[in-house]
């Protein structure tokens, strides 16, 4: 193992300690729907409402988003790990059409949140392309998110009594 390989592996392990939600990024170009699992997603601005997604430079998704000029972000619920795996390249057999369309953008049916965005900026940063999108639609339903941490999926847990003890004791400081 080279030093560069070891450094990359160590960096991945460190970043794996940061729990994230799980999203499926979608777009439609030339009559085809394209989707990929991603956790590189964040809000950037409230005025105007902007989000950013991060897509690996080698991904076919880049050409699809460039052609469409828009993308969707579906925040998966805790029961949708099979969809995360499907759009990460491990196809689920017998999967029915999982999409609904909002503002002409395909989004994952049953996700706990949907965002449709038009691309307003694009930056190549390292081995990824960052797409800045102005939000055209944002909606959500109740439900717990799917969490990714340490290389596996998790669900939220209620902190219950532990949180109550900290609140009674005056918080963290």
Domain boundaries of the chain, sorted by first residue: 19-155
Q: Which residues lie below 8 Å from residue 142, measured CB to CB, with a gap of 6+?
A: 112
**Nearest-angstrom CA–CA distance, 24 and 46:** 22
The reported pLDDT for the residue numbered 2 is 63
| CATH of span 19-155 | 2.30.110.10
pLDDT in tens, 127-160: 999 999 999 999 999 999 999 999 999 998 877 6
3-state secondary structure at position 109: coil
Q: Which residues of the chain have pLDDT under 70?
A: 1-3, 160-173
Backbone φ and ψ of 106, nearest 5° = -75, 135
**Nearest-angstrom CA–CA distance, 14 and 154:** 18
Phi-psi region of 131 (alpha: psi -120 to 50; beta: other; left: phi over 0): beta
Handedness of CA 59, 102, 138, 85 (dihedral sign): negative
The reported pLDDT for the residue numbered 76 is 97
Q: CA 74, 154, 167 angle in degrees (round to 5)?
A: 100
The reported pLDDT for the residue numbered 160 is 66
């Amino acid at each position: 193992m080279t030093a560069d390989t070891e450094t990359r592996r160590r960096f991945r392990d460190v970043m794996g300690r940061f729990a994230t939600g799980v999203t499926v990024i979608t777009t439609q170009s030339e009559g085809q729907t394209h989707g990929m699992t991603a956790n590189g997603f964040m809000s950037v601005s409230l005025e105007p409402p902007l989000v950013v997604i991060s897509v690996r430079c080698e991904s076919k998704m880049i050409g699809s988003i460039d052609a469409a000029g828009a993308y969707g972000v579906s925040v998966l619920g805790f029961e949708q790990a099979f969809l995360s795996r499907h759009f990460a390249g491990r196809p689920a057999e017998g999967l029915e059409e999982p999409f609904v369309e909002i503002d002409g953008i395909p989004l994952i049916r049953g996700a706990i949140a949907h965002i449709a965005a038009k691309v307003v900026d694009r930056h190549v940063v390292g081995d990824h392309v960052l797409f800045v999108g102005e939000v055209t639609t944002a909606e959500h339903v109740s439900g717990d998110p799917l969490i990714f941490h340490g290389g596996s999926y998790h669900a939220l847990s209620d902190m219950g009594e532990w949180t109550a003890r900290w609140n009674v004791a005056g918080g963290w400081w």
